[in-house]
Each structure stands twice: as structure tokens, then as C-alpha cells.
Structure 1
Amino acid sequence: MGADQTRRPVILALGAALAWQTPAFAQEQAPAAEQAATTDSGIQDIIVTARRRNESIQTTPIAVTAIQPSQLEAAAALNIGDLQGAAPNVLITVQATGAATANISIRGIAFADVEKSFDPAVGINVDGVYIGTSTGQFLDFFDIDSIEILRGPQGTLFGRNTISGVINVRRTRPTGELGGKFEASFAKYDQFAARAVVNVPIIKDVLAAKFFEFHTDGSGYYKEVGTGKLRGGSNNENFGASFLLTPSDNFDALLTLEKQIQDFDPVQGPLSQSGDVFCPFLPVCGGNNTTDIYNVFPAPGGYGSYKAPAATLEMNFDAGAVKLTSVTSYRESKEDQLQDFATNGLYNARRRQKYHQFSQELRGAGKIGDSFDYVAGLYYFDSKYRLVQDTLVFGQASTQDTTGKSESYAAFADFNWEIFDRVRLSGGGRWTHDKKENINPLLAPGGVSASESWSKFTPKIGLDYRPTDELMVYASWSRGYRSGGFNGRGQTIGSATTPYDPETVDAYEVGLKSEFWDRRVSLNVAAFYTDYKDIQQSSTVPLTVPPFNETIVTNAAGAKIKGIEADLTVKPADGLILRSSLGYTDSKFEDFIIGQLAGGVLRNFDFSDVDLIYAPKITFAVSGEYTLPVTMGDVDGDIKLNASYRYLSRYDQQIAADANTPLTGPDPIVVERNDPRLRSDEQNLLDASVSFIWDMNASGAKARATVFARNLLDDRGTQTAFTVSAFPILWSFAAAREPRTYGVQLGFEF
């Protein structure tokens, strides 16, 4: 850890100590998701912005789960990965081949890859800004105002590449009053976190500022074979400032400047089995995919670094009849990563990438009469990346140099129309035009390049009925769209210049939202059916020259996905909140036939019977929070007890044929299952925490001490798994999920 990195936590600790002795000036603004009215004994009404409007979650006619900041605090959550299993039919795993990279799946639709030439299937929006790559999506969860997980395609309001859903994150805004929030935590595997947010008034009621700094580091939970040294550690910094200008009652402007820095040790657990080409050359081969993957090969010299500055400007103007919003954002990143992929030095790759994106959204919202409201706008997105990769395989070197460009613009509109008393018709549409270009200077003299454009209209229509104030039923149809593109890792002229087409979904959903028992119980249920077309499928195929494999994407198949979801919240007594969610998904490919080399011969393989990736049949979660007021002398406070259990049924992590698939017989060769090492076992994740929260003084300052444990059952296994090439398989590797971890967290706010 560098000198600057060691100073920051010390400075934060000193700041917290000084603030502890300072009289409190202001309480930090309550989170938006908790600012709604509530009854004395009922469940708090949660306000969401899932449809670019402020509305109760109980009157929003889509399947959405709201994660409140207090839930993250109780679970000692550090990043987006801690939401794994917290919402029905949602998976969030780490992609260890890239920096701060998340693999996210909603309702059985996912795309697990780190490359910037591929678009995610789930949209991550932070403060109204779409993050265009999977790198940078592993977000810190300290300065959070609200988190909403929207399930199903959200193309009308959130755009392309949201065919399975959106995770909508809003951070706190400057309060305009002097206040702060500090936190430090210590946990197993040398995990340390120090995080702070300070609000400062600059010009009273006109200009306010918020400064933030988040630091986390740890040694990792893998063990190096032979030495026992902990591997897979990281050092993360996220810091910046927000400035809120409010010169009048009808205008505000919020400017956020920030930077994310990550230095990490990129390791992968070994999954190679007998029969893999690399197996005879590895010190260990044939281990299981539960506990053995935590033992990694030495392969010294690996490193990873990621730097990503960003700027966002949001402006809002209330013109009376219409409210106008502008969101302008620029993000860039620079990565340098040298990694051995569990081969003990047989396959090394150094990847250097630069990326930037610019986006601009203009939208207006208003009402026409008492029964019609709308949101409409324009959107523009532009990005460019360059990847330079040097690969060394059995001593043979190769270099790849790829530049990709993407441009997209769209127009959209969304409306609610109360056509009868308590009956609303809602809908809208979005027209999107995409253009992408791929440039590779090394595949031929003078280089090669290709470009392609696509346009798509994605409509939505829905109807909801509220027979009482406590009950709503709704039905909807929507279309989602993920842009086509080029294979950024194509190693031949054909694969680098042949585009793959967009994929689409038609999603049908019916749902019920209800409250009863004097608003002590909330039950929301949704059933869905998804027709998934032209699926963009990633395949790794062998080459006869270094690097001896390439990853390409083709439009390989269609799929039918159906399921049901339920969110339940119960407040049986004051101080006690129980939450539960259940998701069931049934998915099946259809007409999934692709060509692959097998023994040097091109054969057709029928994958129609294999499972979709990251699509567990069952996700289940239950949690409880009990708050007990206590008085210790002159100190008033609360003891909070929290426990949660999450269950995930098994799921596959890559489309790759079982190595034992018979290659005899005519085409197509029927593949009965994916390689079994790519299947995650059932997960039983148990977490618990105990917190003591007490008042520091009469002005509202509070302190908190929390003891927590995650994965108490020490349930071990893979987060992601991968086999390289097929017939023959070269080798395999995996990323392991976090084992049992426990620690303590101290917090203070004023």
C-alpha cells in the first residue's frame, strides 16, 4: 500500500475523532426511500423512481425491489455483490478477470464477460447515468440514498441493454448543512474499510458541497499452493465531491466529480480435469469446484490496476407545466492487468485497456389535466475503447490490438392515463439507433475495420386497477433490445469483421401489490413469461496459432423463460421487521445449434437441452430485524439484531459442452448438458449482525458499533467458472465466493 493510501484512513480516523468532540450541527438528510409517510404501527411507505417519477412502490406497476440503506448498514454490506440473492431471480457475482467487474443476471438473462466490445444485459444506473461496461459496476455501498432492482426489460425509460432489468442507484445529495458520516470496519482476511462523507454549506441556501472518501483493502481469501500465502487481495479507493447549486426555488444543478482506483492481485482457482490439454503440465489437476478452487498456483508477477475518473452534471428546472431535467456525464477508465489463468505460467496475458463514455439525456415530465402524466426525452451515448493484449502460451507470444467505437441516440416517451376511476393505462416507447465500429491493425497489412448500424423501436403497454387503496393488480407487455456489435477478441479477419446482430425479448407480466392488517403486511407477487430471441452467445474456439483460442459471439438461439416472484414484508410488532422473497424461473433454449471445431473438423452441435447460464430455478431469502430501545445511565440507544438466510439453487456459469459428449453420429451432435465443473452447487448463505446505536448528544449525533458475520455456514464454491475451448478443452479456471467472514464496524454521524 502506497504512502497516500495509508494516509487516507488515518486522516479519516482523525476527522472522526474531531467530529466526536464537536457539537452536532445537523442530521444527514434522510434517504429518499425512507422519506414517505407512515403510520405509527404500519410498514413504512417506500418511494421509488423506477419510472423516472416519485411514486410509492405499492402503486408502481412493475416488479421492483427497493433495498433501503438501513438494510445495507445492518448487513455490513460493502459493495453491489452483497445484494446477491436479496431480490427474487437476481444473481450478482464477481468477474475476476476484470477490475471492479460484476456479472449480473435477472430472470435468467445474463451475459458474463469482461470485454468492452460486449454490452451488459442488465443496466446499472448511478445517479441517472448508465455504466456502459461490466467493469466499474462493483459499486461501494456507503453513501447510498436508494437502490431499486427493476426486473424485466426497461427499454422505454432506461434504454438499450436493459433487456433483463435495471439496478437503479441514487447517492445522497449535499444537505446544505454541516454534517458528516464516518465508518471504519475490520474483518477476517485482513479486510479494512474506512469511509467518510462530509456535508458543508458554502453559501447558505444557495451552494452546498459534499465530500466523500471510501477506502477498502484486504489480503484475499485464496491460499497459494506450497506457501499458504493469502492471495487475491485488493486495495480500493473511491473519492470525490458533489456541489449543489440552488439559486432559486425552481432550479438546481448538481455536479459530481469522482475517481475510482483499484489495485488488485488477479488470481483464479484451478478447475482443470484429466483430459484437458494443460493438465499434464500443472502441479495439481482434478480438484473439486467447491473447496479446491481456493488453492491457487504461485505464478508470481501478476498485477492489476484500474483508474476511472468521472464527472456528472444534473440540472433540474421547474417551468410550471413541465419539469425539465438534463443529465450530462463523462467517464473514462484505464486498466493494466497481467494475469495467469490458473495455468501455473503456461498461459499469461497482459491486457491494457483505455475506455471513455459520454452521455447526455434531456427529458421533460408533466401532467395534462388531472388524469394524464408523462415523461419524454432524448438521449445520446458515445464510447470508445482500445485493447492491447500480449499473450504468452507455452513460450509462444502473440499480440492483439483492437479499437472499438460505439454511438447511440434515442427518443422516448412514457405515460400514465387514468382512463376510469382507479384504472390506469400506461405505456410508451423508445426508438434507438446504434452504430458500432471495430478496427484491428494487426490482422492484415494496413489493418482491417468494419462498421454496422442497427435501429429498433421498443414499446411497452400496461393496465393497472386499484379496487382499494391497499390493492393493485396489473398486466403489461414490453419489448427489450440489446445492441449488436463486433467480436473485440476476434483473432481472424472473418471473426473480427463479422458483426453479431441485436437480441430482443418480448416480456409479459401480471402482478399484484397488496397491503393488509393495518399496513403491517405487504405482499407483492409477479408472474412473467419471456420470449428471448437471437441470443448473443459467447463461445471460445480453438486456433492453430497463438494464442490458440479466440472468443467470439454469435446469435445462436432463442429461449422461453417463465417464472414467478414474491416480496413479503411483515411488521408483527413494533420494532420487528421480517422480509422474505421467493423467485422461481423455468427456462429452456430452443433451436440452439452452433458450429464448432471438434478434432480439427467443423461439426454442428445442438445445445437446446443445456441450461441457460446464471439461471437458478429457485432463489429464496428471509431476514429479520429487531430493534430494542435501551437506556444505559444517561445514554439512550437501540440494540438492533439482524439475521438473514439466502438460498440459491444450482446454476450453470458457461455454455460449454460436457467433454464426454459422444462425437460419433451425424450432425447435429446433441449436447445433453454443460460441462459439470461449470455448475455451481446449491448455496445456503447465512448472515447475522448485532448493533448498538446510541445518541451522542441532544443535537442528533449518533454512534454505532456492529459485530457481523457473513456466510456463517462457510458455504464454499464457485462464483464464476470457465473452460477454455472445446474438443479438446485446453484448461479451466474459476472465481471462488467469499468464505465465512466476521468482523466489527464502528460508525459515527452528526
Structure 2
Amino acid sequence: MHRLRSRTLGAMLAGSAMMLVQPASAQATDVDADVIPDPEGPTPAAGPVTQSASANQIIVTARRREEALQDTPIAITAINAAMLENKNSLNIGNLQGEAPNLLITQQNSGAAAANLSIRGLTYADIEKSQEPTVGVVIDGVFIGTNTGQLLDFFDIEQIEVLRGPQGTLFGRNTIGGVINIRRTRPTFEFGGKAEASYSRFGTWSTRAVLNFGVGDVIGFKPFYFHNETDGYYRDGVTGERRGAATNDNYGIAMAVQPNSDLDFLLTVEKQEQDFSVVNAVITNDTELFCGFAPPDLCNRDTGDDLYTVFGQPAGGTYNAPALTAELNWDTGPVRLTSVTGWRKSSENQTQDFDATPVDLYYTRRIQNYSQFSQEVRAAGDLFRGFDYVVGGYYFNSDFDLLQYTKFFGFAPDLDPLEADTNPQSVIGSTESYAVFGDFNWAFADNLRLSFGGRWTKDKKSLSNSFAQLGLVGQGEASFDKFTPKVGVDWRPNPDTMLYASWSRGYRSGGFSPRAATAATAGTPFGPETVDSYEIGTKLDLLQGRLQFNLAGFVSKYDGLQQNTTIPGGPTGNQTITSNVGSATIKGIEADATFSPVTGLRFNATIGYLDAQFDDFVAGNVVGSVILPFDYSANNPIYSPDLTASLGAEYVQPVSFGELVGTLGYRFIDNYDQQISLGPLSGDLVNGPVIVGGNDPRVRTDKQSLLDATLTANFALGQTDAYLSAFGRNLLDDRGANAAFTVAGLFSFASAREPRTYGVTAGVKF
């Protein structure tokens, strides 16, 4: 298989000058009615750049076509480069709250890892065998693990947040939605931008992007980003800062465009991270570890206490090279595109899970991951009023994990590599094939039918062993699913679109990486699916000054995959993944953009969720037996009832250039971060045991996040320059970023960023 992948990659690169995609028309009955060409002409390597006659119009590629945001019959939020720069956004985590029903939190158990939730659909796990519920797609390449998803925002052209299942057009596992990220492409002309920033907690960064070309045919774009911080935690004994991290991302993109119909883009890059891992102890006196920790480290709160930590030093390194090749060709009647992606990562990380100085549970995890993907698409107009995108997709990933564990080691200075003579080894792989099609048919005046589907076949294997005990168990299984989508949209007038759709999302089954017996390691869990029903409207009002979008949806979630703890294995219990039940999620979303006068823009979003389990029964360990526990009354995780945002941006010309001010407020309601044990009732001896909710320690407080920036744009000789002052979380809203309880043993958490502020200076040329 390695030789086959190598030959496939070589063939894709050798044929790089073969294909160019151009957008199918947004509405075949009125080709490009709302879109006009850029008067300066197309940007090389990027395909046609378009702008709307409306000042607020944004062009998106959410359906693998370039079309106006207001003409796209799905719930989508688009954020372009100017919006990111004006808000001084750092990484993907700063999108939290910017789109309705979107949550993004950092997962500190993995390098540059994110917990993503859209419309209450999430799966917060760092294991490489557990696939993301929300797809992150970078330049057309799906990222198969949540590690490495916290991307730098300096070189981003546009981000699109697609809400709801997107299983027709996007790679894999888009059961909750997609965050589609497009980076800038080489311009073929000499130019670039560079900036440096400094902010609270010893945080500073330098970033640079350079563009230059060889004639009009070859363009290069080298880039380098560096970020580092001292961290915002305090050591409870020494008073020193904790949570330090450095991150470097560098590479080069090369574009080749021999003519207007032919295009090739190759990006080679690498991310390197060196970081400390900090956990705050939230163990209480109902848990075993509380009896071994100092008394003042039990029963701490999940607010200000989280920012003072006492655990042993821990950290990790992360190295991740990647390659992306985009091959494009316009043959005239058919536009073809091919996207090849290869990514690899190596991680070595320690973590003090008990978060106390006593050395009760400390691990070292050494793992390697690689993925290869290939997508080929064809797009065009079959006849007037009917356009299509069809294609095929291949994905392969391999990983291996070696975990060394100190359990009640009582030896803080002893590395788990030396302490654990029986480390656990997990080796797994995934191979996936898919074919897909997406079609638009304008079958009547102002009426359009959208339909399509994807058939996916997944093959997975996993082997679980211990160094001394040998092979515990292994398994291999295949899963396949057809995920259709159908929708209709109606435009009673040029400023109004109404739409309705039904779509199905699919997340493959697999094997439990933490299984510790032959039976559990060799038994697969099944796929989970979501059926989503949505209606919505998109309005363009007040002669283009106001855009207002509204959507309502109902999602039926079946085959819910969830981790549960049962007896077995060397430590007496094990964590396995099972299909435990179903859920119904209902919601309403709205977003608006209003530009009342030149230079002033307001934006607002609101999302409401009603997420409930229909049934959720899992086996839990009580003594030496497994009893059925009914979690149906618990809250689904990462599902706040309400999310909302309100922002304003004002541009004021001045004698030296212009001032740009932004002010943004985000509200995020309470939400739970783990399915866990709260109050218990029912038959506590024989079962079923009724769980009356999640542990209150894993429930966040309500968040009120206020951000502001003030930027001066001015000329510095022949160069454009800017100086910006910014503040994030100005209200200093503190609380948990993540919290977790472990089977009556201990609990730990991490904290979200407190108030911070800083300055940025940069140039563009």
C-alpha cells in the first residue's frame, strides 16, 4: 500500500499541469446576474476573482462553485481576510461565537488540537482513531484528526463556516458541518506583508509573506510565522508563569499558469510546536485522588482557581510537514480539478492528569500519524439551467501510539519511559473511497432544485497490545453508507430567496483505542448518522445595505458514539466506544450585516439550540459488575441554548490615511463538556441506574466576551503600513475552557484566556 500511495502521489504531481476549475454558474437561468468581473482582471492562479454590485456581497465556494453568499441555499457564515485582520484574530479559536451555534475550544491533550461543535454536534477526543464530527478543510484537503487544527490566521483569504451535514461535497465525516479555509495564493507580482505583535503574558509574534514571480507563468509565495507565549497560568508554589508555547509555521507555495485555462498550485509547509501542558485540579472529596492530594487542592472552584496550578511540569513537541497540490484545467465544456493532500505528524507529549504535585497519574504519549487524500472533480453545465459537480475521493491514514503511564507512581522526577515497563501500543489505519455528485436544476422560473449524494466505503483496522502482555486484541471491519441531499430554493424577487432541504450526514464506525481485552479490542462500534431538515430565507434589503438570513432546523441523531468505562484489562477497567442511543436537536439561527453609511458596518448573529437525548443507555462499572446507566436526562455536550454576537466596524479617513475601529461582543450560554455522572437514582444495586444530569464541574459558566481594536493605516514612503492596538476578553470573563472527570478517581480542567491586550505593527507592499 505504501508503494501504491507513492506511485499515486508521483502521478498526481507529474500531471500537475492538467486541470483548471472554473465555477459553475450560481443560477443557470440568470448567469452571473449578481456577480461582475473584477475590473482589474483575474488574479493569476486563483481563478476568476469576482465582486458584487452590492458593496456587502461575498463570494463563497461552499458548494464547490463560486457563487454569491446570498445565492447559496445553505446556512453559511463567510469571514474574509479584511475582517480577520481588523479584529486581530490569531487562530481558528477566535471564530468561536462569530457564527451561530459554533463552538471552538482548545484541546490541551493534543498539539494544536481543537474541539469543534456546530449545532450541538461534536466529539471531543484526541485519539487518532476517533474522527472529527466537524470537518476542517484547508485548501481543499480534509484534516483527518483534530490535532493541528488551530491554524494561524495571517495568510487567510476567506473562511466559510457551513452549518449542518455537508456529506455530499466534502471529504469525510462532515456530520456536523465544515470549516472551509482558503489561504491566499501567489500573485505573480513582487509584494508581500510582514508584521510583529506583542501582548500580555509575554506573547509575541512575527509573521511574513512574500510574493514574486518568474514572468507571468510562475509565481512563488514563501511564508514564515512565529508565535510564542509565557502562558497565562501561575504556579501555585513558585509564582512563575505556566503554559508557555512556541509555534513555527513555514513553507512555500508555487503557482504555475502557462495560460488562462491551465493552473497548478503546490504548497509545501511544516508546523513545529514546543509547548507545555497545564491542567488545573478540580478533584473533590467524592473522588479517590482527593485522599492523596494536599487538602487545599481538593474542592477547588472552576473559576479563578483554574488559573493557579500545582501539577508537575509537562509538555510536548509536535512536528507536522504537509504537501498540497491543486491541478486545474478548463477544457471548455467541462472544468476539471484535482486536489492531492499529504500530511504527517510526530508527537511526544507528557501530561499530569491528576494536576497535583503528588504524582498520581502521569503519562507520556509518543505517536505518529500520516494521511494521504486524492480528490478529482468535474464541473459544468449539462444544459441551460442545469449545472453539476461530480467526482471521486480517496483517503488513507495510518497511526501508531506508544503510551507510558505512571499510576500512583509517587516519583515526580521519574520519567514514565523508565517507570512503565509495560507500555500500551496502538496501531491503526483507515482507507476510504467515495464517489459523489451535486446538481442544480432551474426547472421553472425562479425555482431551483438542488440534489445529490455521496457513497462512501470505509475500511478500518486496529491492533492493541502491551509490551509485556503482548497482543490484547485486534480487529478489521468495513462500513459503507450513501448520504443524499435534496433541496429547493425559490426567488420571488431578486432580493429574496427561500429554501428548504433535507440532508444526511455519516460518521464511520471503528475500534476502541483504549480497549484492554481481546473481546473489546476486536469488536467494532457502528457508524452514526444525522438526518437534518432545514428551512431558511436570505434577504438582501435596503438596496444592498442590509443582508438578513434566517434558518430553522431539526436534526435526528442516531447511533450516537460515546466512550464508556467497563471492567477489564491490566488496571481493572477500560474505556471503550459504543453506540449508546439517539438525540434530537432543534434550532433557529439568524445573522445580519448592515451598512447604513459609507465606512460603517454592523453585524449580528444569534443561535438557539434545544438538544435532547431521546435515549442513552450505557454500561458502567459498579464494583465488579456492569450495570445499565440511563443518561437520557443529561445534557448533550457543547450545546449551549444560546449563542449571540454583535459587532461594529467604522472606517474614518484622516490626514495621514485612515482609522479603523472594531468592537465586538459575543455571548455563549452555559454548556456541558463531558457526559458524566451527576445525581443518581433508580436501582443502584441491580440497575437501571438513572443519571440526573452531568457532573456540575464540567458545566461552563455563561461567557460575555468583549473585544476591540483600533488600527491606523498610513503610508510609509512607498509602502502601506498599519499600527493596531487590540484587546480581547476586555471584561476579563474567566472560567473553564475544558473540564473532565475520570470514573470516580480524579478531575481536571483548563482555563480560557483571561483579559489580554497588545499592539501590532505591519507593512504591506
In the alignment, the residues of structure 1 paired with residue 507 and residue 146 of structure 2 have an alpha-carbon distance, to the nearest angstrom, of 14
Moved more, 283-292 or 560-569: 283-292
Residue identity in the other structure for 1:104: L
SS in 1 for 2:466: coil
Bigger shift: residues 611-620 or 443-452:
443-452
Query: Could you tell me which residue of structure 1 aligns to residue 733 of structure 2?
Result: 715
SS at match of 1:494: helix
Partner letter of residue 479 of structure 2? Answer: W
CA shift, 1:33, in A, is 13
Aligned partners of 2:453 and 2:485 also within 8 Å: yes
Q: Equivalent of 1:652, from 661, 672, 697? A: 672
Q: Establish whether residue 123 from structure 1 lines up as the match of residue 135 from structure 2.
A: yes
Q: Which residue of 1 aligns with 2:454?
A: 430
SS in 1 for 2:596: strand
Q: Given the alignment, which residue of 448, 451, 457 partners 2:476?
A: 451
Distance 1:447 1:674, change over 3 A: closer
Specify the alignment match of 1:689 in structure 2: 709
8 A contact 1:122–1:167 mirrored in 2: yes
Partner in structure 2 of residue 593 of structure 1: 617
- Pick one of 531, 541, 544 that aligns with 2:556: 531
Partner of 2:160: 148
| Displacement of 1:285 | 1.1
* 1:210-233: CA deviation from partner (whole Å, max 9, x where unpaired): 000010000111111111111111
Q: Structure 1: where are the runs of 5+ without partners?
A: 1-25
1:227 aligns with one of 190, 213, 238: 238
1:571 maps to which residue?
595
Of 730, 737, 744, the match for 2:752:
737
Contact 1:306 / 1:333 at 8 angstroms: preserved in 2?
yes
TM-aligned CA distance change 1:619 to 1:572, over 3 Å = same
Q: Give the match's secondary structure for 1:81.
A: helix
Structure 2 Cα separation of the partners of residues 553 and 324 of structure 1: 40
> In structure 2, what is the equivalent of residue 621 of structure 1?
645
Structure 1 residue 540: deviation in Å?
Answer: 4.2
Q: Which residue pairs with 1:53 in the alignment?
A: 65
The residue number in structure 1 matching 2:398 is 384
Structure 2: distance between partners of 1:189 and 1:554? 42
Match of 2:261 in 1: 250
SS of structure 1 residue aligned to 2:544 = coil
Pick closer, same or farther for the CA change 1:313–1:588 going to 2, 3 Å.
Answer: same
Contact residue 311 and residue 352 of structure 2 kept, 8 A: no
**Match 1:418 to one of 438, 442, 465:** 442
Q: Which runs of 5+ in 2 are unaligned?
A: 1-39, 410-418
Q: 2:369 aligns with which of 355, 361, 364?
A: 355
Kept in 2, the 8 Å contact 1:225–1:298? The answer is no
Give the letter aligned to residue 607 of structure 1.
Answer: Y
User: CA–CA distance in 2 between the matches of 1:200 and 1:470?
Assistant: 41
C-alpha displacement of 1:30: 12
Tell me if structure 1 keeps the 8 A contact 2:45–2:187.
no
Match of 1:105 in 2: 117
Instruction: Report the alpha carbon displacement of residue 323 of structure 1 after superposing the two structures with TM.
Output: 0.6
Q: Secondary structure at the match of 1:680?
A: coil
1:669: how far off?
1.1
Mapped partners of 1:390, 1:418: distance in 2:
60
1: CA distance between counterparts of 2:478 and 2:625? 33
- Equivalent residue number for residue 366 of structure 1: 380
> Deviation at 1:665?
6.1
Shift in Å, 1:442:
2.9
Matched, 1:292 2:292: no
AA aligned to 1:523 is F
Q: Distance in 1 between matches of 2:46 and 2:217?
A: 21
Q: TM-score, normalised by structure 2?
A: 0.91
Distance in 2 (CA, whole Å) between partners of 1:55 and 1:186 is 38
Could you tell me how far apart the structure 2 residues matched to 1:27 and 1:541 are? 63
Distance 2:442 2:193 in 1: 43
Alignment-mate amino acid for residue 433 of structure 2: Y
Deviation at 1:281, TM superposition (A): 1.6
Superposed, 1:431-510 pairs within 5 Å as 431-442=455-466, 445=470, 448-510=473-535
State the shift of 1:702 in Å: 1.2
Call closer, same or farther: CA 1:303–1:542 in 2, change over 3 Å.
Answer: farther
SS, match of residue 284 in structure 2: coil
Contact 1:31–1:145 (Cα < 8 Å) also in 2: no
| Contact kept? 2:42, 2:48, Cα under 8 Å | no
Task: Give the corresponding residue for 1:706.
Answer: 724
What is the CA-CA distance between 1:389 and the residue it aligns to? 0.1
Contact 1:36 1:45 in 2 (8 A): no
Could you tell me how far apart the structure 1 residues matched to 2:428 and 2:281 are? 32
Scaled by the length of structure 1, what TM-score is found?
0.92
Pairwise CA RMSD of aligned residues?
2.0
Identity %: 49
> Contact conserved, 1:95 with 1:101, CA < 8 A, in 2?
yes
Q: Does 1:520 align with 2:545?
A: yes
2:64 is the counterpart of 1:44: no
Question: Contact between 1:33 and 1:145, CA under 8 Å: does it hold in 2?
Answer: no
**Which SS does the other structure have where 1:628 is aligned?**
strand
The answer as to whether partners of 1:562 and 1:586 remain within 8 angstroms in 2 is yes
Say whether the 8 Å CA contact 1:43–1:521 is kept in structure 2.
no
Deviations along 1:606-650, whole A, 9 cap, x unmatched?
A: 10010000000100000000110000xxx3x11111110000000
1:722–1:676 Cα change, 3 Å: same
1:195 partner letter: R
Return the alpha-carbon distance in structure 2 between the equivalents of residues 330 and 219 of structure 1: 32
